[in-house]
Amino acid sequence: MNTVRQRKEMRNTGASEGHAAREGNVESGHKLPSGGTRRRLWETLSFTLGGTVALCVGVLTSVYLATLHENDLWFSNIKEVEREISFRTECGLYYSYYKQMLQAPSLMQGLHGLMYDNKTESMRTINLLQRMNIYQEVLLSILYRVLPIQTYLEPVYFYIYTLFGLQAIYVTALYTTSWLLSGTWLSGLLAAFWYVTNRIDTTRVEFTVPLRENWALPFFAVQTAAVTYFLRPNLQPLSERLALLAIFVSTFLFSLMWQFNQFVVLLQALVLFTLDSLDLLPALKASWLYGIQIAGLLLVCALQFLNSMILGSLLISFNLSVLTARRLQKTLNLKSDEHIFKFLKAKFGFGATRDFDANLYLCEEAFGLLPLNTFHRLSHTLLFSAYLSVLCVTGTAALAGALHNLSDSTRRQPMGSVGKDAVSLRPATAYNFMHSVLFGLLALSTMRMKYLWTSHMCVFASFGLCSPETWELLLKAIRLYNPKRMCVMRYSVPILTLLYVCYKFWPEVMAELSELREFHDPDTVELMNWINSNTPRTAVFAGSMQLLAGVKLCTGRTLTNHPHFEDSSLRERTKAVYQIYAKRPAEHVHGLLRSFGTDYVILEDSICYERRHRPGCRLRDLLDLANGHTMDGPVQNDPDLKPADHPRFCEEIKRDLPPYTAFFTRVFQNKTFHVYKLSRNK
């Protein structure tokens, strides 16, 4: 609430906290039993209608995204190998473990195969449950085995429908958060509409189904809704305990399903710390949230067999330092996330780097700055304009509240007991404001993280348009405030916005649903079929990370490397395998590949003659830079780089000259791929 007057009126009318803002202008003289009964009846009807709308919007969004996926690939009509190839890069790797669990003779044998896996990385036995976030694949495979659905639902459909079903939870959670903040479910409806109409920037689930973020973000949205509810004042003890339980469960599930969990939750901890320091949050509730974050992450750490990347994370160190003034990070010597800090150091201009791993991230568009055309698309739906307006108003109130709290530090008052003319934000509003600001900064710096921000942008913008807090502050600033005008604005503006969005984008949505395409990748299908038919099951394949994930899924062959890049030894191995695209002699490349037990190597023309990235960011350029060789083409070379003594391996091997034919024999080729068998007697 914004003033002491409104809080008193809220208590006098006995209104629920969710509708406190709307009922703040009800006079105390209306406290008649019949009026109270009518009010409770209206609230019950409103809650029922709002809840029904939330569920319907969530389900419809799920069906909409599933239909787009089907229309884009004609998924129901293509072959099984084509379905699997459509799970590109790391998506295919994750899905392969679901497939592996289903093909195992028993659940215990399937789990044993994951815990003692020797096919994901050749000549190594690794615990996949420790290294990767694949418990969701394990759970789905168990459910598919035990539920009576095998006769009418294929395993792949059970998998993708689960992901699209989580989108229903995602949208419902966004809807609920906006409703809790504003006090009206109209706000939630507007948030859901904005989420759908800005689909390009709010989700990519329809074309990257198994990606970890598509599993995790719905639970992060649930956690945000639960935190928003928990931060409301005067909760009943039972409600508070249930909110804490929801926060813990959602934090745990979010952390279990995404390898970047610790960095996201760390930002959330920084939000809590900032607001706690400025007395914009109750200290006790902030401490509870710190503890839940630690408990959730430690439970994930235990399930991942004491994963050192989690145990030594900055999040645990930060939260423990806040709660106990101790830092765990200093006691551990970790390298699992070393590449991330090298990437951040180079990204923000703290010195150029020739580190191969860091440059792989720096040169990927997903890890670059957020493109400016994103804001144009978001403005097209009025979302970004509304968001900026709400952010400015709320930011002004947050700054004023923080300055008031700091200036009044010598005469500390209880939380919320500010002077009559003081500007104050409710803790839940302050939390969501800081949440939006920090995740906005993250999205601006790293495009892949924009999905954390844009979905919350829908929530925050819709809350602002429907919130009495926002309109009261704005109308008072221009000296036009009165309760009736505020009520008119908080309902008329979002309704007009909804009508505009529906009128403007309904034809586009219908056109999307009617557009039919088909998956078509004959070269990759031919390659996978050849591997299945012409190589032994125990064969070891080397190649690019992205392609090998598909090889693992479609053929079950053993790999030398894969796209899950969070292990330091795997990064070193990947760099060694990628020398097939560097300027290295045949015997050197052969020795490297054979050291990993490689039987076949797959070369891709799209990498060897790459044009997708700018000069200096092509894979062959990164390898030349890391090897100290001058790069090809019109690119600026540092003075200390030297010309290589040998031609580029991926180009020279195709000439079938003796130095290469002595070590490599071509066994397959098409327009895209060249497969060579390595000699064993060299």
Q: In what order do the strands lie in the sheet with 664-669?
A: 558-559, 540-542, 600-604, 673-678, 664-669
- Helices and strands counted in the chain (H then E): 32, 5
Residue type, 528: M
H-type helices in 104-184, by residue range? 107-115, 128-131, 135-146, 155-182
Burial class (CB in 10 A: 0-12, 13-18, 19+), 348: exposed
Residue 653 per-residue DSSP state: G
Q: 275 and 281 in contact (C-beta within 8 Å)? A: yes
If you search the block for the tokens 């449950």, which residue do you land on? 129
Q: 604 and 544 in contact (C-beta within 8 Å)? A: yes
Residue 378 to residue 385: CA distance in whole angstroms: 8
Residue 635 per-residue DSSP state: -
If you search the block for the tokens 């990385």, which residue do you land on? 121
Residue 349 to residue 137: CA distance in whole angstroms: 39
Q: 483 and 439 in contact (C-beta within 8 Å)? A: no
Q: Are strands 673-678 and 664-669 parallel, antiparallel or unpaired?
A: antiparallel
Q: Are strands 600-604 and 664-669 parallel, antiparallel or unpaired?
A: unpaired
Residue type, 599: D
Q: What is the CA radius of gyration of the chain?
A: 28
- What residues contact 644, with CB distance under 8 A and at least 6 apart? 583, 624, 627, 629, 630
Q: 356 and 362 in contact (C-beta within 8 Å)? A: no
Residue 321 to residue 315: CA distance in whole angstroms: 10
Residue 405 per-residue DSSP state: H
- Of 359, 58, 51, which Cα lies nearest the Cα of 195? 58
Instruction: Determine how many CB atoms are found less than 10 A away from the CB of residue 44.
Output: 10
If you search the block for the tokens 């939330």, which residue do you land on? 54
Instruction: Give the three-class secondary structure for 668.
Output: strand
Instruction: Determine how many CB atoms are found less than 10 A away from the CB of residue 290.
Output: 20
Phi then psi for residue 205, to 5 deg, are -65, -30
Residue 416 to residue 147: CA distance in whole angstroms: 51
- What local confidence, expressed as pLDDT, does residue 357 receive? 74
| Spans of the chain, pLDDT less than 50 | 1-33, 325-337, 410, 412-422
- What local confidence, expressed as pLDDT, does residue 323 receive? 59
Residue type, 146: V
- What local confidence, expressed as pLDDT, does residue 118 receive? 94
- What local confidence, expressed as pLDDT, does residue 312 receive? 63
Residue 144 to residue 138: CA distance in whole angstroms: 10
If you search the block for the tokens 């700091």, which residue do you land on? 406
pTM comes to 0.86
Residue 680 to residue 597: CA distance in whole angstroms: 10
- Of 547, 542, 629, 535, which Cα lies nearest the Cα of 582? 629
- What local confidence, expressed as pLDDT, does residue 319 receive? 65
